[in-house]
Amino acid sequence: MRCPFCGTPDTRVLDSRAAEEGYSVRRRRECGACGRRFTTYERVDEPPLVVVKKDGRREAFNRHKLLAGLVKACQKRPISMSVLESLVDEVERSLRSTAELEIHSHQIGEMVMERLRALDGVAYVRFASVYREFRDAREFVQEVERLTQGGAGEGT
């Protein structure tokens, strides 16, 4: 591994440990030339997931974009960032466990809503209102009624 500070290819591993729930290896390294230390991560090189949008466009799956949407939906709710990151990890693992490299955006949205519904009813309705593009208050009320009749998760 090349040193990011001086460019020397002579670095040694000081420590290795599992990271990201065992899906990567974190290595602490030291440069033999300049003596500086740095961290690297080793992950399986997975083929990229492609998301097929509603209008037919295709773009690379972006876990940060999904996390940002969840953060917005969970604003002022008692849900920690680590719970949201775990939810995104779970969705991504589920997507990668299928043999498909192209996933329709509606599949991702439904997976997220299923998990959010069990987690927090308010966050679920917020996410659903954007995802399902509610056009008026009536659609919003209908979704809340469906949620309360179906036995929602905590926080409703």
User: For residues 144 and 124, what is the distance between their CA atoms, to the nearest angstrom?
Assistant: 9
Phi and psi of 73, rounded to 5°?
-65, -30
pLDDT at 154: 44
Q: What is the pLDDT at residue 2? A: 95
CA distance 91 to 108: 8
Task: Supply φ then ψ for residue 13, to 5 degrees.
Answer: -85, 125
- Give the Cα separation of 74 and 68 in Å (integer): 10
pLDDT digits (tens, 9 = 90+) for 102-151: 999 999 998 998 999 899 988 988 888 777 767 777 776 777 787 777 65
> pLDDT, tens digit, for every residue of 12-40?
999 999 987 787 899 999 999 999 999 99
